C-alpha cells in the first residue's frame, strides 16, 4: 500500500480541492483528512459516519466539588492564569476556585501543590475523530475543538487508523489531505509517507512557503512533487517556481490555471472531476497519472 500526502506551505492554495479531485480519480483507496485544524474535506465528501470516538490530546486539572478549602495556592501558582476565584474578589469565607479548561496547559503544578489534594488530573476531550463511508470509499477524519492543541497527535492517530483500514480492506492507496504550514501537524502528516505533493500558488508568500515546506520534505527524505495552482494569475512567479524547483531536483507536475469551476464545484459539494470535464479536468487527471507513476 502506497501513501500520498497532499500539503501546502500555507492555507487556501487549493490543497483540499486537488485532494478531492484525486478522490474522484483513484480506485481502491482510503481517504484521510489530516488538516484537523481547519477540516473541510468532509464538505465535499459528505461522509456517513459509522464510528465516532473522542480524542484526548492531554490532561487537565479539575478542582473536585466540595473539596477546595479556598487557600488560593493554585491561583497564585498557575502561570497560565487558568484558575479563577468563584464569586466576588472580596469574598472572605467559603472561597472556592475553578480551572478554565481552555487556558489550562496541564502542567500539573496545582495538582502537586494543593494542600488538601482537591485537584485531580483528567483526560481532556479535545475533539472527535470519525471512520466514515463516502461515495468514493472509506474516509477517516476529525473535528478538533476550538482553541484545542495537540493536533499533531490527532493527525498521527488519523493516519494510523486510515492505514489500518486500508490494510484490513486490502486497499492499495492512502490519500491524505495534510496540514498546511511547517509545524507539528504537517510533520505528523508526512513522516514516513511515500510521496508528497505540495500545492502552491504563484505569489511571493507562496514561493516563500514552498521553499520552507520543501526543506522539510527534503529533511525527511520524502519524494516530493509540486503543483502550481492558479498558475496563470502570475506567470512570472510560476516561471520562478519552476526554475527553483528544478534547481532543487523537484518536478513541477502540474500547472493548474485559475478556473471558477473549482469554487462552483465546492458550492455544489462536488469534486472538480464530478462537476466538469474539459481542459481543466484533463490537467488534474494528467497530474494524477504522474503521481501514480511516481508512486511506482
- Per CB under 6 A, residues contacting ligand SF4 are 61, 63, 68-74, 77-78, 80, 82-83, 97, 99, 104-110, 114, 116, 118-119
Q: What is the DSSP letter of 78?
A: -
Strands (E), 107-220: 119-124, 127-133, 138-144, 173-180, 195-200
CB 16 within 8 A of CB 177: yes
State which residue, 108 or 246, has the beta carbon closest to ligand SF4: 108
Among 1, 2, 40, 128, binds ligand ATP (CB under 6 A): 40
CB 144 within 8 A of CB 152: no
The β-bridge relationship of strands 29-33 and 138-144 is: parallel
The partner in contact with residue 63, picked from ligand ATP, ligand SF4, none with C-beta cut-offs of 5 to 8 angstroms by kind, is ligand SF4
Does 283 participate in binding ligand ATP (rule CB under 6 A)? no
DSSP string, 51-104: EEEEE--EEEEEEPTTT-----HHHHH-TT--EEESS-TT--SS--EEE-TTT-
Does 263 participate in binding ligand ATP (rule CB under 6 A)? yes
The partner in contact with residue 8, picked from ligand ATP, ligand SF4, none with C-beta cut-offs of 5 to 8 angstroms by kind, is ligand ATP
Helices (H) and strands (E) in the chain, counts: 11, 13
Q: Residue 124 has which C-alpha cell?
A: 481532556
Cβ count near 226 (within 10 Å) = 24
The partner in contact with residue 82, picked from ligand SF4, ligand ATP, none with C-beta cut-offs of 5 to 8 angstroms by kind, is ligand SF4
Closest separation in Å from C-beta 263 to ligand ATP: 4
State which residue, 97 or 262, has the beta carbon closest to ligand ATP: 262
State which residue, 67 or 232, has the beta carbon closest to ligand SF4: 67
State which residue, 80 or 258, has the beta carbon closest to ligand ATP: 258
Residue from 7, 14, 19 nearest 258 by CA = 14
State which residue, 60 or 179, has the beta carbon closest to ligand SF4: 60
State which residue, 164 or 208, has the beta carbon closest to ligand ATP: 208
Subset of residues 219 to 248 that bind ligand ATP, contact rule: CB under 6 A? 229-230
Among 55, 136, 262, 275, binds ligand ATP (CB under 6 A): 262
CB 5 within 8 A of CB 198: no
CA-CA distances (angstroms) from residue 226 to 2, 12, 205, 244, 294? 18, 16, 16, 11, 12
- Bridge-partner residues for 8, per DSSP? 180
Distance CA 121, CA 108 (A): 8
Angle formed at CA 273 by CA 232 and CA 244, multiple of 5 degrees? 35
Closest separation in Å from C-beta 173 to ligand ATP: 20
Q: Which stretch binds ligand ATP (CB under 6 A): 13-21, 74-82, 206-214, 287-295?
A: 13-21
The partner in contact with residue 220, picked from ligand SF4, ligand ATP, none with C-beta cut-offs of 5 to 8 angstroms by kind, is none
Closest separation in Å from C-beta 126 to ligand ATP: 20
State which residue, 93 or 170, has the beta carbon closest to ligand SF4: 93
Q: What is the DSSP letter of 25?
A: H
Residues found near ligand ATP in the complex (CB under 6 A): 8, 11-17, 35, 38, 40, 180, 229-230, 256, 258-259, 262-263, 266
Amino acid at each position: 500500500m502506497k501513501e500520498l500526502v497532499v500539503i501546502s506551505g500555507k492555507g487556501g492554495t487549493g490543497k483540499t480541492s486537488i485532494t478531492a479531485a484525486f478522490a474522484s480519480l483513484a480506485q481502491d483507496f482510503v481517504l484521510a483528512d489530516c488538516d484537523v485544524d481547519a477540516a473541510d474535506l468532509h464538505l465535499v465528501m459528505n461522509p456517513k459516519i459509522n464510528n465516532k470516538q473522542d480524542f484526548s490530546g492531554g490532561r487537565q486539572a479539575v478542582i473536585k466539588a466540595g473539596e477546595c478549602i479556598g487557600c488560593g495556592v493554585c491561583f497564585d501558582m498557575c502561570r497560565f492564569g487558568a484558575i479563577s476565584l468563584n464569586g466576588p474578589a472580596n469574598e472572605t469565607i467559603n472561597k472556592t476556585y475553578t480551572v478554565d479548561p481552555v487556558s489550562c496547559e496541564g502542567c500539573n503544578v496545582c495538582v502537586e501543590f494543593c494542600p488538601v489534594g482537591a485537584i485531580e488530573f483528567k483526560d481532556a476531550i479535545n475533539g472527535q475523530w470519525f471512520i466514515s463511508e463516502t461515495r468514493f470509499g472509506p474516509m477517516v477524519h476529525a473535528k478538533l475543538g476550538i482553541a484545542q492543541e495537540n493536533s499533531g497527535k490527532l493527525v498521527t492517530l488519523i493516519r494510523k487508523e486510515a492505514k489500518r483500514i486500508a490494510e484490513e480492506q486490502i486497499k492499495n492507496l492512502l490519500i491524505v489531505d495534510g496540514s498546511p504550514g511547517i509545524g507539528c501537524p504537517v510533520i505528523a502528516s508526512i513522516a514516513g509517507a511515500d510521496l508528497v505533493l505540495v500545492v502552491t500558488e504563484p505569489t511571493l508568500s507562496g514561493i516563500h512557503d514552498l521553499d520552507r515546506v520543501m526543506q522539510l520534505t527534503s529533511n525527511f527524505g520524502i519524494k516530493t512533487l509540486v503543483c502550481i495552482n492558479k498558475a496563470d494569475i502570475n506567470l512570472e512567479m510560476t516561471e520562478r517556481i519552476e526554475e527553483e524547483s528544478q534547481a532543487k531536483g523537484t518536478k513541477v507536475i502540474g500547472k493548474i490555471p485559475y478556473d471558477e469551476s473549482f469554487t462552483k464545484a465546492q458550492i455544489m459539494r462536488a469534486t472538480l472531476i464530478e462537476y466538469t470535464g474539459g481542459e481543466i479536468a484533463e490537467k488534474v487527471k494528467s497530474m494524477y497519472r504522474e503521481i501514480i507513476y511516481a508512486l511506482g
